[in-house]
Copies of this chain bind each other. A is one copy, B any other.
């Protein structure tokens, strides 16, 4: 649901997580530069997961979080790019750095 996505993105902590995921690619919860205890972070990741913005998969003992860019772009074209203040993506492929 759109409002659920907008709500998830309307929090500075969660938005900063999404920005970092967009810039650096999938990452485990621990690496995020957010000044919060892990139980708080876990809550924010849950909100991101339940709104469909992030997908989480287990990677050994850690959990890897990835931005669901394709799903989001398919359902709400340009929304993620607009929120991330990037030019609208024209289905262009990202290159490895």
Q: Which residues of A contact B (CB under 8 A)?
A: 2-4, 6-7, 9-12, 15, 76-79, 81-83, 85, 87-88
* A to B CB contacts below 8 Å, 20 in the list: A2-B15, A2-B83, A2-B85, A3-B9, A3-B10, A3-B11, A3-B15, A6-B6, A6-B9, A6-B10, A6-B15, A76-B82, A78-B78, A78-B81, A78-B82, A79-B82, A79-B83, A81-B82, A82-B82, A88-B88
A15 to B6 Cα, complex, angstroms = 10
A83 to B77 Cα, complex, angstroms = 9
Q: Which chain B positions have C-beta within 8 A of A6?
A: 6-7, 9-10, 15, 83
